[in-house]
Amino acid sequence: MKAIILCAGKSTRTYPLTVTRPKPLLPLLNRPIIEIQMDGLYSFVEEFILVVGYRQEMIQQRLGENWKGKKITYVIQEEQRGTGHAILMCEKEIQGPFMAMNGDDLFDPNDLKNLAQQKRPSALVKEVPNPKDYGIYELDSGNRVIRLVEKPKVIFSNIANIGAYLFTPEIFPILHKTPLSERGEIEITSAIQTMAQQSGFWVLPAEGYWLPIGYPWDLLRANAFLLDRMQNPIILGTVMQGAWIEGKVFIDEGTIVRSGSFIEGPAYIGKNCTIGPNCWIRPYTTIGDNCRVGQASEIKNSILFDHAYAPHQNYVGDSILGEGVNLGCGTVTANVRHDGQAPKSVVNGILIETGLKKLGAILGDNVHTGILTAIYPGRKMWPHTFTRPGEVVERDIIGEENENG
């Protein structure tokens, strides 16, 4: 069984984090999403086919030519012309039944294994509360597809397409004949609809987790979910006398936790970090490699990418700090609105609801803040931007590395 993993998209909805990296390389528990997904497929997949495009060299450099002994074949999609087009580009690599899935979502490995064992073309599905945001299936009593409608205006079902499929080579002639959509793409949903009408297509309800990463704050949800699944505390680094660790906490090699630090699990701290003295790391925090959390800093329900610094008197709540971020003394990320409304955030120029009670800042790589910077809830700063001392960030700060990369 071969698995096609779709990694070519640019993903502007997850800016500023994906200005400088493809979305499958976003980290969860200090590992790229794509690696977690490949681990979940490893036991029943013989070869990985990765469709790459945007910043393709970063994925190739990270993964190399094989994953733990299993071959990786890279197929380059120069123009992002849809999921169907991406799968079609792999036609020469496929000889029998194969899997295909989004490279920026996480699926329960047991569900993927069950999908691989199906005897007929199928897709994983989940019931969702907001059908208008998904491709939605109408089924008969045997889970055979009657129709698949992308983002329906009239709700007829809540059974959503979640982006993991088992196909036979029969899909390729269908894709060749699939007309372009209004946005100029070959839509896999259109091909599935055709297959359903011609020879049949089925669904398999996913029983385990599905963690889609559509927006930056979805990383926080997925991070919390994975931290909850940690079994036992593991401390490989050095914890000095006077530091206190409570609950499930992972501390990797080379990290030192200085006196006066209080770490509440679940939490994950990577390699070669300096924690403390006298800081507070609260639950659902993941800290990457070579980070620093210093005197009187408090980190809560947040993700720090590698080389991120919150070195003195910082509050980082419900936030994401990209690689190389450095917070000036006294920088604070506000995560709650005074009016009690849910935080909102601008995505591709549109102010949207996040659905969260609390959301702090999303800072791209190498952002530097001046001392006493205050950042409004849900605000974003693009890579290599900065603030002056005492600045209040009321709106997103978009630098020269804009939506064109």
Active-site residues, by number, are: 312
| Residue 379 burial (10 A CB sphere; 0-12, 13-18, 19+) | buried
| Residue 133 burial (10 A CB sphere; 0-12, 13-18, 19+) | exposed
Q: How far apart are CA 152 and CA 131, in angstroms?
A: 7
Q: Are 31 and 39 in contact (CB under 8 A)?
A: no
Q: How far apart are CA 357 and CA 146, in angstroms?
A: 38
Using the structure block, give the residue that is written with the tokens 């990577």: 270
Radius of gyration of the CA atoms of the chain, in A: 22
Q: What are the beta bridge partners of residue 363?
A: 321, 381
Return the structure tokens found at 343.
Answer: 């935080």
Query: What are the Cα distances from residue 198, in Å, to 87, 93, 121, 137, 145?
Result: 20, 24, 12, 16, 11
* Nearest CA among 233, 245, 228, 383 for reference residue 308: 383
